[in-house]
């Protein structure tokens, strides 16, 4: 009798788990429809990928509940992407780094201690989260996010600037020899182009297309101008903290491989994350401490379904995922 009850319990558990998976898959298809899933064979492949990710999320979050992880993961638009597809939107290893550096100490304007917590959203100085889609254009989004926050802080000016303009018009410049959608890049390219061009276009004039195209030019596209940009010395998270508290947002390079694409909540900290160079640009918009863990507050360009409405927390003070190795920010004087 006991064996029968155990078998029945196990059977019901399997059925419930299967029902949960099926419902999750249907919900995923409603939230993130893909043209490619219209074919039966393609749909089967996507469901297989999704099922594997579903199981990984369930297992990881059970471990997180037991205290084995400092963050949780979840299902999102990447959940039916193959590893190859996810890697395609990250910067390739052979993209050369900018060689010229612009170091400068930000300094504290009041000479006092820095606050323990900063979130520029609380003061309305952060623009909305956007989605780069299937294009390795994070560098343009990271730079644009930092500039938009700078303009809000300095002038209370809200603008929606064009990442596509930066993608198209840096082609062949600043060491960029490949189409950005295929290889990715660095915020320094964006900053230098904006300086050379005297600004760039608004999104409404130069909309995002998720592909590199021929550069368009218009003398009236002079928005978001900057006078320069500053590189923070590699590994100096204290200077990064000072800049975020007293100046504004910073564009940074992180290793976004592994579970980063599934991040949901908590402070992201894991072993085997890059320490010298990443493959994805995000924008730091604040910092703080949660459950005894110091973190950087980052704005991503993977849409509002990643993290908490497009915002995440990455461990601070330990160069997590190489976040302190390539950090810079725009200035306007």
Please identify which of the residues 28, 76, 138, 326 carries the catalytic annotation.
138
Residues 185 and 322: beta-carbon distance below 8 Å: no
Please identify which of the residues 69, 165, 280, 326 carries the catalytic annotation.
280
Residue 251 backbone dihedrals phi, psi, to 5 degrees: -90, 130
CA nearest to 37, candidates 85, 70, 81: 81
Is 28 noted as a catalytic residue in this protein? Answer: no
Is 16 noted as a catalytic residue in this protein? Answer: no
Residue with tokens 């995000």: 282
CA distance 322 to 319: 5
CA distance 86 to 192: 28
Please identify which of the residues 53, 76, 279, 300 carries the catalytic annotation.
300
CA distance 262 to 54: 11
Strand, helix or coil for residue 5: helix
Burial class (CB in 10 A: 0-12, 13-18, 19+), 220: exposed
For residue 190, give Cα distances in angstroms to 143, 164, 299, 323.
Answer: 7, 11, 18, 19
**Nearby residues of 296 by Cβ (< 8 Å), 6 or more positions away:** 240, 252, 284, 286, 287, 313, 314, 315, 316, 323
CA nearest to 252, candidates 177, 175, 325: 325
* DSSP characters over 28-88: HHHHS--GGGGSHHHHHHHHHHHHHHHHHHHHHHHHHHTTS-SEEE---GGGG--HHHHHH
CA distance 237 to 284: 12
Is 280 noted as a catalytic residue in this protein? Answer: yes
CA 154 to chain CA centroid, Å, is 24
Residue numbers annotated as active site: 138, 280, 300
């Amino acid at each position: 009798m006991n064996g029968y009850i155990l078998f029945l319990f196990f059977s019901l558990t399997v059925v419930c788990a299967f029902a949960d998976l099926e419902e999750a898959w249907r919900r995923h298809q409603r939230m993130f429809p893909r043209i490619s899933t219209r074919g039966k064979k393609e749909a089967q492949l996507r469901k297989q990928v999704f099922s594997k990710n579903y199981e990984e999320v369930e297992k990881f979050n059970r471990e997180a509940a037991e205290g084995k992880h400092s963050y949780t993961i979840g299902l999102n638009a990447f959940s039916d992407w193959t590893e190859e597809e996810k890697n395609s939107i990250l910067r390739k290893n052979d993209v050369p780094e900018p060689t010229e550096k612009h170091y400068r100490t930000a300094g504290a304007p009041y000479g006092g201690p820095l606050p323990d917590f900063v979130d520029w959203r609380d003061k309305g100085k952060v623009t909305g989260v956007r989605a780069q889609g299937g294009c390795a254009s994070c560098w343009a989004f990271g730079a644009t996010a930092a500039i938009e926050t700078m303009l809000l802080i300095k002038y209370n000016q809200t603008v929606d600037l064009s990442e596509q303009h930066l993608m198209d018009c840096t082609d062949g410049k600043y060491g960029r020899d490949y189409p950005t959608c295929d290889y990715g890049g660095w915020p320094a390219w964006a900053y230098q182009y904006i300086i050379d061009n005297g600004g760039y276009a608004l999104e409404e004039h130069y909309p995002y297309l998720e592909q590199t195209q021929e550069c368009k030019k218009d003398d009236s596209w002079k928005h978001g101008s900057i006078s320069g940009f500053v590189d923070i010395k590699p590994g100096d998270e204290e200077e990064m903290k000072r800049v975020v508290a007293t100046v504004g947002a910073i564009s940074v390079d992180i290793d976004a491989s592994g579970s980063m694409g599934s991040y949901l909540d908590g402070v992201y900290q894991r072993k085997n994350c890059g320490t010298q160079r990443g493959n994805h640009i995000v924008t730091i918009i604040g910092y703080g401490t949660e459950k005894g863990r110091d973190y950087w507050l980052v704005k991503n360009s993977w849409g509002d379904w990643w993290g908490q409405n497009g915002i995440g927390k990455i461990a601070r003070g330990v160069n997590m995922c190489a976040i302190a190795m390539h950090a810079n920010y725009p200035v306007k004087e």
